[in-house]
Structure 1
């Protein structure tokens, strides 16, 4: 069961990651991922921000100027909220400061999307958004966005090849935990079905053995 679910996870994750964003977007939301030394944007997060800038430029060419929303609170080992460091990075790359908004309370993906949703809905109840994360995180972020009611599509930034396998396993485990009751119920059903089938076949196996004697 676990192997089958992992294969489904890989397949649907790859399929979703190839979908193209065709709708309008009022916001480009970038999910935080931790800071180096409590202040510095790491390469993983810089990749997300660079992908967000490219997506913002693409949407702007269509005649819109979406707001770029950086999402991330302050961890216990960080000297400032991730969203502030992310905004500072964007400004140093030449991105207009007046098009950046910060969500600085979240500490998990669920909170990233829940708190960002509240900000977007307050400004524009009919909003649409593009959510940017790393490619290994796209599928879980999309599942979380659907669960929290965020109206948007998730796109991914490239991830170093050496980091991708372990990150994908971690994402799969996180999804199993998020739906642990459903998975536990299905796993138990599969187990009981197997035991029932084995029980049905056991008497006939014993009869054949006796007949052989």
Structure 2
């Protein structure tokens, strides 16, 4: 599959650090599968409920696997199941962060939607979100020697805080260490703990500064994937 990084059409610093001051950070708790599947059926019919059930089965059947196998299974399923479609086509908006349930309804999403659904699914398989980050990168179009780059989001996995991250990408299904993705330049990353500068092991800012992330967390909760303050 040729690499075609999609366009996040807002400035990296401006969109990522738009202010929405809220007092507490958040962390995911377990999926409420009854609510999740019921909402999928109500909103998207039998096909939506079928996909919701498949994701539940994937998560439950992966819980006893070693972490690298969990990453592989979730990454391959999500990349195979959903199409990449730009927000301007899918949502008629410049940028929209979809919940996993909304992604199921569209059978598609753009790069941040792929990263979000992988993050939530892997958390429920038992992977600590301390090891997972949604990472903004600059992706070179046409290979590592290209002078043209676009904003892109991937999910990164750190086996240890200072380990080389593994890249879970909707563009390339093979999970590769960052050193084997010279086409990607890290900008910043985030998870429930905060915002990380580059590949730093400690957050440098609170997620209270990420308004889009806070907003999608609230909508994810309403869809049956709860979090605790």
* TM superposition score normalised by structure 1: 0.27
Query: Which has the larger share of helix?
Result: 1
The structure having more radius of gyration, on CA atoms, is 1
Q: Higher relative contact order by CA 8 Å / sep ≥ 6: 1 or 2? A: 2
Query: Which has the larger share of strand?
Result: 2
* TM superposition score normalised by structure 2: 0.26
